[in-house]
Structure 1
Amino acid sequence: MATPAWQPMPPPPPPPPPKRSNTLRTVLIVVGVVLVLCCAGGVIGGVFLYKGVKTAVGPVRDVADEFITDLEHDDTTSAYELLCSDTQNAFPPATFARGVSSQAKIDSHKITNTMIRNTNGSTSATVVASLTMSTGFVDQHTFVLIKESGTWKVCGNPY
């Protein structure tokens, strides 16, 4: 059998689908990586800042804690040794001991705040402590400390 001379042409094949662009995915990946790096840097920086501050205020807190603990145990001799020279000159040992014994006894304490200042080359600190007295009263007392010959000392009106 003969084929007719006229045959319809088959339709052209459909065009291939357009290539998907990876630009959005690439941008999101880059932004995600940058965010992770920033967060990690912030955490690492925060840890070093915390350690630096703790190292700076640790000795101040320790001296204030030792001073208050000495007062709790009625060890005025040890507490007196933690006073700066100006305060020792203002309160001789006997006067200091009499002053401590005339106050309500400290049963317990908790240090709530520590701050160090350096003004014109003079370094000082304040330590705030909650002092629970034998009467049940809780006193928020601020202790002033100065650095004297490289050692922190309680100064001013000690108690």
Structure 2
Amino acid sequence: MGYFPPSPPPPPKKNTTRTVLIIVGAVLALCCCGAVVGGFALFKTAKNAVGPVQDSADAFVSDLESGNTAAAYASLCPQARSAFTAAQFDQIVGTRPKITSHDIVSAFVRNINGKTTASADAQLRYADGSSETHTLVMVKDSGTWRVCGNPY
């Protein structure tokens, strides 16, 4: 009988599948985290753009609701104020049904060819029981959003 040396140990197994799965999992985790952070940043940016429009529209309609037509008139854009006097505005508001409550249901900001405009939709409820959704067109004047179209 002859002597046979022991066979060499088998070569170590390469776990390429495991390595690939770990790398793919890490990339997916980074993509998901990036999407969450990006979505949050986009939401904050949109909220910062639309928030002041909603606030200005709400203040305007609140002034009308409380009967403070002088404050509502002051929140109109210069073009709207030049179209009629405060007394005429007060008279126009007096001919309309009394607003008893409202909600600002949506707001949009648009930038077209460098001109930024906005609109806000207000759900108005009147003393006679009727209601309507009214769109307030707004422009930015000296850093403040002002109602400049369809004022009540």
- Does TM-score exceed 0.5, indicating one fold? yes
Q: Report the structure number with the largest CA radius of gyration.
A: 1
Alignment pair present for 1:59 and 2:59: no
Alignment pair present for 1:49 and 2:42: yes
Kept after mapping to 1: 8 A contact 2:135/2:150: no
**Cα distance, 1:109 vs. partner?**
1.3
Partner of 1:104: 97
CA RMSD of aligned residues (A): 2.2
Partner of 2:109: 116
* Counterpart-to-counterpart distance in 1, 2:46 and 2:150: 26
**Which residue of the other structure, out of 15, 39, 46, is the alignment partner of 2:32?**
39
* Counterpart-to-counterpart distance in 2, 1:13 and 1:112: 83
For residues 1-159 of structure 1, the aligned pairs below 5 Å read: 19-159=12-152
Stretches of structure 1 that go unaligned for 5 or more consecutive residues are: 1-6
Stretches of structure 2 that go unaligned for 5 or more consecutive residues are: none
* Counterpart-to-counterpart distance in 2, 1:110 and 1:151: 21
* Counterpart-to-counterpart distance in 2, 1:38 and 1:135: 54
**Cα distance, 1:156 vs. partner?**
2.0
* Counterpart-to-counterpart distance in 2, 1:133 and 1:22: 72
Give the alignment's TM-score, normalised by structure 2. 0.88
* Counterpart-to-counterpart distance in 1, 2:103 and 2:12: 68
Kept after mapping to 2: 8 A contact 1:86/1:155: yes
Give the alignment's TM-score, normalised by structure 1. 0.85
**Cα distance, 1:13 vs. partner?**
8.3
Task: Please give the secondary structure, in 1, of the residue aligned with 2:104.
Answer: strand
Task: Please give the secondary structure, in 2, of the residue aligned with 1:135.
Answer: coil
* Counterpart-to-counterpart distance in 2, 1:143 and 1:51: 23
Task: Please give the secondary structure, in 1, of the residue aligned with 2:97.
Answer: coil
* Counterpart-to-counterpart distance in 1, 2:110 and 2:53: 12
* Counterpart-to-counterpart distance in 1, 2:7 and 2:100: 90
Kept after mapping to 2: 8 A contact 1:131/1:139: yes
Tell me the matched-pair count. 152
**Cα distance, 1:157 vs. partner?**
2.5
Q: What stretches of structure 1 move > 3 A for 4+ residues in a row?
A: 12-21
Kept after mapping to 2: 8 A contact 1:87/1:157: no
**Cα distance, 1:43 vs. partner?**
0.5
